[in-house]
Amino acid sequence: MGSDMTDAYGDKGGVGMEPIAPLPRISIQVFTETDAVAHVVQAACQDRRMSKAHVKIQTGGAGAAVEAYRDAPTPNVIIIESRLNAQTLLGLLDELASQCDAGTRVVVIGHVNDVLLYRDLMRRGVSEYLIAPFDTLEFIRALSAIFQQETGSKLGRIVAVIGTKGGVGSSTLAHNLGHMLANQLDQETVIVDFDLPFGTAGLDFNQDPATGLVEAASEPERLDANLLDRMLSRCEDRLSLLAAPATLERTYDFGFQNYEPILDLLRQSVPQVVLDLPHVWNDWTRKVLLASDEVLIVSSPDLANLRNAKNMMDNLVQLRKNDRKPHLVINQVGVPKRPEIAVGEFAKAVGAEPIAVIPFDAQLFGTAANNGQMLDDVQAKSKPVEAIEAIVRVVSGKGGDQTKAKRGLAAVSMLAPILSKIRGRQAG
Quick check: do 27-151 and 157-427 share a fold?
yes
d(CA 155, CA 268): 6
pLDDT digits (tens, 9 = 90+) for 300-315: 999 999 999 999 999 9
pLDDT at 13: 43
Burial class of residue 380 in the structure, from the number of CB atoms within 10 Å of its CB (0-12 exposed, 13-18 middle, 19+ buried):
exposed
Closest by Cα among 373, 308, 310, 300 to 341:
300
pLDDT digits (tens, 9 = 90+) for 62-99: 999 999 998 889 999 999 999 999 999 999 999 999 88
pLDDT at 354: 96
Closest by Cα among 204, 210, 208, 179 to 274:
179
Q: Where are the domains of the chain?
A: 27-151, 157-427
Q: Are 415 and 303 in contact (CB under 8 A)?
A: yes
- Taking residues 290-300, report their average pLDDT: 95
Query: Regarding the domain with residue range 157-427, which homologous superfamily does it belong to in the CATH classification?
Result: P-loop containing nucleotide triphosphate hydrolases (3.40.50.300)
Give the distance from CA 138 to its chain's centroid. 16
Q: Are 300 and 168 in contact (CB under 8 A)?
A: yes
pTM over the 0.85 mark: no
pLDDT at 389: 94
CATH architecture assigned to 27-151:
3-Layer(aba) Sandwich (3.40)
**Residue 249 pLDDT level (bands cut at 50, 70, 90):** confident
d(CA 51, CA 54): 8
